[in-house]
Amino acid sequence: MNDDNNKNPEKFGTKKRLLAAVSAAALLLGGLGVFGLMDLQSAAAAPPQAHIAPPPARPAAPPPQEHRATPPRMLENGAPFSFADLVERVSPAVVTVTVEEEMQPSAEFDTEDLPEPFRNFFNQFGNGGQMRPHKAIAMGSGFIIDKSGYIVTNNHVVAGGKKITVKLQDGRQFDAHLVGTDKDTDIALLKVKAKGPLPAVEFGDDRQVRVGDWVIAVGNPFGLSNTVTAGIISSIGRNIGNGPYTDFLQIDAPINRGNSGGPTFDLRGRVIGMNSMIYSPSGGSVGIGFAIPSSTVHDVVNQLQAHGHVSRGYLGVNIQSVTPEIAASIGSKESKGAIVASVVPGGPAARAGFMQGDIVLAINGKSIEDSRDLTRRVAGIPAGANATFTISRNGAAKTLTAKIGQRDDQKIALNNGQPHAPAAATTGEAMGLGLAAVTPDVRREYGLNNAVNGVLITKVDPDSDAADKGLQTGDVVLAIANKPVHTPEQVKALIAAAHAQGRSTVLMLVTGNGGQRFVALKIGQG
């Protein structure tokens, strides 16, 4: 067409005038809403794009093909052309996890107040008003990491489950055996038996990803299996107050309830994270999701596969990060390391000669960033192994060697004067919520499993912000402003503290049938 126009300038000028007239008419129709409709019709009728040949195959390598996948085809400007090849390759290894739970009765009701037909029905089939245990079904996601049938998911997906079933993309279903769980990192390992090898994916290195890198999330949101979303890494090393052992990857690929336990892939189809929770003022995805880094998942899964549980090292110190104010008070120019607030009598640190006020600067020759870094590094050392610590005491450097012990979280909590569970039931109200401590009686009444510790929501004011944000009776508040809570009084005290600081909302971590999530509630409703 360009050649013809160049040969006949007059003809080309006529075409330009005709095109200008057509464009003006189109704009006029667009004001009436017709242009948009035509646009959609044209797009729907457009023929499929021509096939673009894939890049040349890489040299053969020993691992299976799915472990040596090439990245998606790229345009000349380096932007991803399509995620379709990647999705097609990894999706068969992503599974839907269905968990069957037995819920204990939460209440009794008086059948005498019912109309006669209903009263007769409940007396005959409802055990005379006595509520019977009933089954509940929860769903999540997971992914196969070994062709022999090992599957990774979240602990909160399978916690308390009586029967676990996994379903593959091709429709096959298997009963799953729970190999082991680690509630501190929210990781669980399952095993299924299949007649042949299963599709599997491999772990990537989350320490190599950067903010802005593309990621793909595959999972089962709201029961919609094999749903794929795309986004980028929004932040790295995110501390969301969910324990000292995990610094999360923050992603903006939309994930929702049911995505828990599903994988986050890089562009080579390697798992760099496991989707675990979302920040949600509304109850749905707002583009802020959190994935457990693959390095954490890999290390925990190795222990679960070998031993069925996770063992962590223990030093026996209470520590806090060195703030700029603390650094200035001791004459240090850098606010790095962890300061020892107290030493547990008779513990590994006490035997090694640690003292209150020591600043831990390095462990086994590698520098320490803060208290979380030290806790995580010590936890990764096997019990019985020796570790060398570089400390600063009164401004002088010193080296101490400690024999790492075995961590016992319940014993540590008692030593710190923090009972593992509240001793007596207490109730209260805050921000339109009825609250109760999670005691053994409350566990039985509401059918809560032993892995849940926090404050139970017993009622929700329908006119409250909490109701608008999707909180329900039976949900459990785990933390307020990133601080764990066990009693309604702790909830109210933390809300009051946030209000005193001039905050209009408070961040609440809750867990329920949809898994763990953050909810920001407005302060000032009770």
Question: Does residue 260 carry a catalytic annotation?
Answer: yes
At 526 the pLDDT is: 43
Give how far Cα 422 sits from Cα of 347, 410, 436, 447, 486, Å.
26, 13, 10, 17, 6
Burial class (CB in 10 A: 0-12, 13-18, 19+), 69: buried
Residue located via tokens 């067409």: 1
pLDDT over 50 at 33, yes or no:
no
Q: What is the CA radius of gyration of the chain?
A: 29
More confident call, 235 vs 518:
235
CA 15 to CA 428: how far, in whole Å? 78
The residues pairing with 317 across neighbouring beta strands, listed in sequence order, are: 343
* Bridge partners of residue 117, in order along the sequence: none
pTM to 2 decimal places: 0.61
Beta strand 313-314 pairing with 427-430: unpaired
The answer, yes or no, to whether residue 81 has pLDDT greater than 80, is no
Confidence check: pLDDT of 23 > 70 = no
Q: What pLDDT sits at residue 118?
A: 58
The one catalytic residue among 182, 184, 186, 247: 186
Q: What is the mean pLDDT of the chain?
A: 78
Give the number of other Cβ atoms within 10 Å of residue 463's Cβ: 10
Position 229 pLDDT exceeds 60: yes
| Residue 142 contacts residue 94 (beta carbons within 8 Å) | yes
What does the pLDDT average to over 334-355? 90
**Cα gap 96→173, rounded to integer Å:** 9
Burial category of 215 from C-beta neighbours within 10 Å (exposed 0-12, middle 13-18, buried 19 and up): buried
> What digits encode the pLDDT tens for the residues 277-293?
888 777 677 889 999 99
pLDDT at 25: 38
pLDDT in tens, 169-219: 999 999 999 999 998 899 999 999 999 999 999 999 999 999 999 999 999
Strands 94-103 and 134-146, bridge-based pairing:
antiparallel
Cα dihedral 147, 310, 402, 324, rounded to 10, equals 100
Would you state the pLDDT for residue 315?
Answer: 94
Q: Do 490 and 455 contact (CB within 8 A), yes or no?
A: yes
Is residue 156 flagged as an active site residue?
yes
Q: Which of 260, 276, 294, 371 is catalytic?
A: 260
Q: Quickly state the pLDDT bin for 74 (edges 50, 70, 90).
A: low
Our CA angle for 333, 339, 340, nearest 5°, is 155
Across the strands, what pairs with 413? none
Distance between CA atoms of residues 75 and 20, nearest Å: 32
